[in-house]
């Protein structure tokens, strides 16, 4: 892999080779992410379509002329049992598809939407079992501080005190409030930095 790296101490040649390797790694990573995302998306789409088809099938069975059988008003117990068995089977399949759909996208929520969380901190939180905004909203500040402290010196400077609140806004879909809160937090940080000089 490194056979083409020259032993000369010419900074320009070494820089070009390093840049070429970095560019190659970037392109490879981009293509890999694209392939994995497409695969995951198609699996999710298939499971969602199966889920919808099962819902329609259950609804059609309930709305069918034999719907009275579902309500138990039929005088034919055999027909009642058959229809009930079909419905239970379809509901069981629907539950299995829902479980597969939930597990098909294990990535969770994009924690980077929270002010102060970047890709590296998101990876730390994920490694600690925090994958969703709900997880983050329910996490105690002491635990967040410990995660950052344990990760090393460069992470200790981050202040997670607003992360659970921001995560709760995101979890509830209160995007305008979250956006406003983040803008105020950035302004306060800038003003604090300027006044601190």
- Note the pLDDT of residue 26: 87
- Note the pLDDT of residue 90: 83
Say what angle helices 163-171 and 141-151 make with each other, to 10 degrees: 120
Written as one string, the DSSP assignment of 54-91 is HHHHHHHHHHSTTHHHHHT--S-HHHHHHHHHHHHHHH
pLDDT digits (tens, 9 = 90+) for 118-149: 999 999 998 999 989 999 999 999 999 999 99
- Note the pLDDT of residue 4: 60
The parts of the chain modelled with pLDDT lower than 70 are 1-11, 38-40, 64-77, 79, 100-107, 189-197
- Note the pLDDT of residue 105: 46
- Record the pTM: 0.44
8 Å CB contact between 153 and 137? no
- Note the pLDDT of residue 53: 84
Quote the Cα angle for 26-116-152, to 5°.
75
Residue appearing with tokens 């410990």: 146
Tokens of 103: 């597990």
- Note the pLDDT of residue 94: 79
């Amino acid at each position: 892999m490194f056979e083409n790296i020259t032993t000369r101490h010419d900074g320009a040649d070494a820089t070009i080779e390093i840049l070429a390797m970095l560019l190659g790694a970037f392109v490879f990573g981009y293509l890999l992410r694209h392939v994995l995302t497409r695969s995951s998306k198609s699996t999710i789409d298939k499971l969602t379509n199966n889920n919808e088809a099962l819902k329609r099938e259950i609804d059609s069975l309930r709305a069918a002329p034999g719907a009275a059988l579902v309500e138990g008003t039929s005088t034919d117990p055999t027909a009642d049992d058959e229809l009930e068995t079909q419905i239970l089977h379809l509901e069981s399949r629907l539950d299995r598809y829902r479980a597969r759909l939930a597990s098909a996208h294990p990535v969770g929520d994009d924690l980077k939407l929270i002010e102060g969380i970047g890709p590296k901190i998101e990876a730390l939180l994920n490694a600690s079992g925090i994958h969703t905004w709900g997880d983050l909203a329910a996490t105690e500040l002491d635990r967040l501080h410990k995660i950052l402290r344990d990760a090393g010196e460069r992470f200790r400077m981050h202040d997670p005190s607003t992360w659970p609140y921001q995560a709760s806004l995101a979890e509830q879909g209160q995007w305008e409030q979250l956006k406003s809160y983040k803008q105020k937090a950035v302004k306060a940080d800038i003003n604090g930095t300027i006044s601190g000089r």
